[in-house]
Amino acid sequence: MRIDGLLLLVTMIWGSTFLVTKYAIHFVGLFTYLGYNFGIGALTLALLFRRRLRHLTGSELRSGIILGLLLFSGYALQTLGLQFTITSKAGFITGLYIP
């Protein structure tokens, strides 16, 4: 029962981020929001893993940049689509990757 409750809580938090994002991009703009979002995430991870970052090879750095750009593109397209549809549809379409 506890695990089901936690799963429900995680789902509610995940679903609420669509609503928060939809309202946030109205105030600061799409790419400003994504810049803050990815910037805070990058700084947090850089602080947590600063010792490992010193030992990165060129190919690892290049691969990370490519994957980061792909991830950013996915988020940018999803957030752009969120401007033109309702939050429940955006969440439903995003959740379709599970099946």
pLDDT of residue 5: 93
Question: Given a cut of 90, is residue 6 above it in pLDDT?
Answer: yes
| Secondary structure class of 86 (helix, strand, coil) | coil
Q: What is the largest CA-CA distance in the chain?
A: 47
pLDDT of residue 97: 74
- For the entire predicted model, the pTM comes to 0.72
Three-state SS for 60-76 is: HHHHHHHHHHHHHHHHH
What average pLDDT is seen over the chain? 88
pLDDT tens-place string over residues 39-92: 999 999 999 999 988 888 999 999 999 998 999 898 898 888 888 888 888 888
Domain ranges of the chain: 2-95
Question: Given a cut of 90, is residue 96 above it in pLDDT?
Answer: no
Alpha-carbon distances, residue 53 vs 64, 67, 68, 91 (angstroms): 11, 16, 15, 34
Tokens of 79: 């957030």
